Structure 1
Amino acid sequence: MTDKSKIAVLISGAGTNMAALVYASRIGDCPYEVVLVASNDAQAPGLALAAAEGIATFAHPHKGMTREAHDAAMEDAVRQAGADYIVLAGYMRILSDGFVERWQGRMLNIHPSLLPLYKGLDTHARAIAAGDTHGGTSVHLVTPELDAGEVLAQVRVPIVADDTPESLAERVKLAEHQLYPRAVAECVSRWRDPAALLARLRALALALPESDERESHGSPGFRVGGEKTGKYFAYFADQHHGTPHIALLARTGSMDELLNLVESQPDVYFKPAYYGASGWVGIILNRPGVDWDEVAEWLHRSWRSVAPKRLTRMMDIADEF
């Protein structure tokens, strides 16, 4: 595989989950490679392990720095390494909101509980005290709210008689080493998975007022205006007519706009077969780093271009407030 996603792993200690990610990346057709291991502690044992494996390392102690300044130093190292994703693996720092937001959807963490249960610390002791039958571990996307991002994968680990937080933690750590590489691999592959891309596009399209989905010429299409008079404002195209693209097809304002977009940003836009003759543009979804806010804006704009005036007037009034 030549188009592996590049990940930077942030650690603060031994880096056992980092090691699991590294060794998994070298087995079979893994879709990611580790290009950097960085730490807030220059003495973190995991840095030596990474260096021994030929992986670039970076350390920057946080003492005496503001949270934002330290995050900026770490982020600069991540960007210089060319990383597409940041994976937290025992990184014992609370991150600034700005750092997290810049990597929205591309920063992952692993947490030793079955989220949403037991966010924060002392997860094993809390699970045992609650009388739970299982503890476990969860991989989630990082958001400004602690341990609150989308859960990507989980493994349940039984709590047995006479378990202590320490004994449960040992077994959960084994589960983490199996779960994290697989969850990271699935996450970094989302951008090339038609089902995942359609699901995300569908959620955005159907959130628009009075929108519905109907297949058209073998493609999922999205309409507004009702069963009998509804008009299409978007289509999902999965490598149709010989193109390599998985794309959103949306309406532009004119053929000139379409051609300008395709000429100026050919890595983002293309002129789709048949639809392009009517001024529809293809927005490529199967590429790393898609700006989904921009996709949502295209959907909204395309929706407005065909929605009944009663709906657009209502939206205009709502926007005023």
Structure 2
Amino acid sequence: MAEKAKIAILISGRGSNMAALIYAAKSHDCPYEIVLVACNDCDASGLKLAEAEAITTFAHSHKSMSREDYDDVMHDAITRSGAEYVVLAGYMRILSDGFVRKWANHMLNIHPSLLPKYKGLDTYQRAIDAGDKVAGCSVHLVTAELDDGPVLAQTEVAILPDDNAERLARRILIAEHQLYPATLAKYVSREADPDWILEQVRERALALAETHERESFGSPGWRAGSEKTGKYFAYFTQKLHGEASVGLLVKTSGLDEQAALVDADPELYYIPKFFGKSGWIAVRLNIGRTDWDHVSDWLYKSWRMVAPKRLTKMIDIADQF
């Protein structure tokens, strides 16, 4: 089994969603482990539960501290724990922009409404007052704007005719306890999902000038130039020509560079079947923790080798200014 993703949970109180995540993590096939529970209230009952479950805790009051200074303290505790993701579970602090940037795409939150409806507080009563038939909860990525990040998953909860905010809140909390662990597990496992990997490659390849996608031997490939005369600069490999790895095939300058890459990092690079004799290299994309900037660099480098000269000349001229 692949190495488990390391999670830090931030709480402010009892931490019922924290408990759901902790117990889900005890399953042998759960793709994450909880390495830290941190809190801005030293007396929060959730800390006692985390300690009882043998999880490292950190507590520090936010009183008399600026938002930025306090977030620096929390960031330091999280990084020292080795956490790769931050999960907010009833954390009642508004985060500084700097903290959010540091954990961009690696911080999740759960909110008790079907976003984008009812951001902020009093979500249960607002849904009832609006005459909604359903309420629910949403797991989303955290961005600088409150409750505005991309939604990863939602669960609808029916609003009953005699509901009040308290009764509705109790049922939505049950839904939260189901949704949060499942969504977190899927999110931290996404870099091993071939469909997700393909979408990341596709987005980056098609962002290059005059690029289009065309299937080759049953796998997606990308060409630079016109539909009629374009040349391939990248292929997505998932069992392409019998290859076992999920990866990206790109062009190198030749067999010497190809061999040097494999020698330098044989876990990341390998010589692909069929294409290897022409100097192509395969970059593994399903080993986890993919450096997507590195992938973008490879796509651009390979694209330049086959792109129409008028395009590369224009880029070279622009780079001089």
Scaled by the length of structure 2, the TM-score of the pair is: 0.89
Matches for 1:36-47 after TM superposition, within 5 Å: 36-47=36-47
Q: Does 1:76 align with 2:76?
A: yes
Cα distance change, pair 320–24 in 1 and its aligned pair in 2 (3 A): same
The corresponding residue for 1:103 is 103
Structure 2: gaps of 5 or more residues: none
C-alpha deviation, 1:206, in angstroms = 2.2
User: In the aligned structure 2, how far is the partner of 1:114 from the partner of 1:319?
Assistant: 46
How far, CA to CA, are the matches of 2:145 and 2:302 in structure 1? 33
Distance 1:147 1:221, change over 3 A: same
Show the counterpart of 1:223: 223
- Aligned-pair CA distance for 1:267: 4.5
Superposition pairs for residues 59-138 of structure 1, below 5 Å? Answer: 59-138=59-138
Matches within 5 A, 1:1-321: 1=1, 3-238=3-238, 245-313=245-313
Q: What are the ranges of 5 or more consecutive residues in structure 1 without an aligned counterpart?
A: none
Question: What is the distance in 2 between the residues matched to 1:22 and 1:165?
Answer: 27
Within 2, Cα distance between the matches of 1:90 and 1:282? 44
Paired residue type of 1:16: S
Change (3 A) 1:30 1:257: same
Deviation string 1:29-71 (CA, Å, 9 cap, x unpaired) is: 2211112111122111111101101111111222223333322
* Worse-superposed segment, 309-318 or 288-297: 309-318
* Two-structure CA RMSD over aligned residues (Å): 2.5
| Deviates most, 59-68 or 252-261 | 252-261
> Would the alpha carbon gap of residues 289 and 60 (structure 1) be closer, same or farther in structure 2, given more than 3 Å must change?
farther
Q: What is the CA distance between 1:25 and its match in structure 2?
A: 1.5
99-108 or 44-53: which moved more?
99-108
Aligned-residue sequence identity (percent) comes to 60
Deviations 1:226-281 (A, max 9, x none): 22211111111125567653212222345444444444444444443443443333
**SS of 2:287's equivalent?**
coil
Q: Which amino acid aligns with 1:248?
A: L
Aligned equivalents of 1:292, 1:165: Cα separation in 2: 44
**In the aligned structure 2, how far is the partner of 1:222 from the partner of 1:170?**
50
The 1:154/1:226 distance shift into structure 2, 3 A limit, reads same
SS for the counterpart of 2:6 is strand
Give the TM-score normalised by structure 1.
Answer: 0.89
Give the C-alpha shift of residue 318 in structure 1: 7.0
Measure how far apart 1:13 and its partner are: 1.0
Task: Tell me if structure 1 keeps the 8 A contact 2:241–2:274.
Answer: no
When residues 180 and 221 of structure 1 are mapped into structure 2, their CA distance, relative to the original with a 3 A threshold, is same
* Alpha-carbon distance in structure 2 between the residues aligned to 1:87 and 1:244: 34
